[in-house]
Amino acid sequence: MKLLASPTSPFARKVRIVLAEKKIECPIQIEQPWQADSHISDYNPLGKVPALELDDGSVLFDSRVIVEYLDSISPVSRLYPQERRVLIDTRRWEALADGLCDAAVSIVIERRRPADKQMEEWVQHQHAKITRALATMSRDLGERLWCNGEAYSIADIAVGCSLGYLALRFPELDWQADYANLAALQDKLSLRPSFIDTRPACA
């Protein structure tokens, strides 16, 4: 098994955290999709990270597919609840966090274009998604210790990765001041070895 990942991708980080939480050993091949010499398209026809090559040569892609697979192959620290209603709520949290990351990554990509070709209206459209996602996360978390109200799960990992990506790419967004409960959750998650070991070393 081999994981193809970018060190700064929040989606790849989510998979790396799950690997750590599940205590699954897996080598990582660094891939930067935007570099001309990247081989990620040889594994994922969509040209995105992460991708997980299995021992039989087949490849899984999309972080949600990969983490669900990883959760299924090891009984250690189950991250998807078994009870149906809690599972649906957990998946909803993951979708919301991943959507925030999609919007943030879209802005990063747009900002890499020449200044005269950037679409400010598009950037602001994505910023609005981030703002709404943060407000929804804060409202739904309330005073609960964990996102799904039950226990540490993939919901918390996904939210932690999305907040970590904002801290990495958008330090000017002072979301911590507006959403103290999210900041407290992020502080708690940042103490976990899996989050410490996967923290991006550079921007």
Q: Looking at the predicted structure, is the pLDDT value of residue 201 above 80?
A: no
Looking at the fold, whether 35 and 127 belong to one and the same domain comes out as no
What pLDDT shows up at residue 81? Answer: 96
- The structure's pTM equals 0.96
Tally of residues, the chain: 203
Within a domain: 20: yes
DSSP secondary structure string for all residues of 48-65: -S-EEE-TTS-EEESHHH
97 plus 156 within the same structural domain: yes
H-helix or E-strand spanning residue 196: helix 193-197
Instruction: Summarize pLDDT for 76-112 with one digit per residue, the tens.
Output: 999 999 999 999 999 999 999 999 999 999 999 999 9
Residues 157-191 pLDDT 10s: 999 999 999 999 999 999 999 999 999 999 999 99
pLDDT per position as a tens digit, 117-169: 999 999 999 999 999 999 999 999 999 999 999 899 999 999 999 999 999 99
Domain boundary among 73, 107, 134: 73
pLDDT, tens digit, for every residue of 7-64?
A: 999 999 999 999 999 999 999 999 999 888 999 999 999 999 999 999 999 999 999 9
In the chain, the number of structural domains is 2
Structure tokens at 149: 């109200």
- Residue 55 covered by a domain: yes
Select from 73, 102, 135 the last residue of a domain.
73
The answer on 174 and 99 residing in a single domain is yes
- Domain of residue 126: give its range: 84-192
Q: Is residue 200 part of a domain?
A: no
CATH value at residue 27: 3.40.30.10
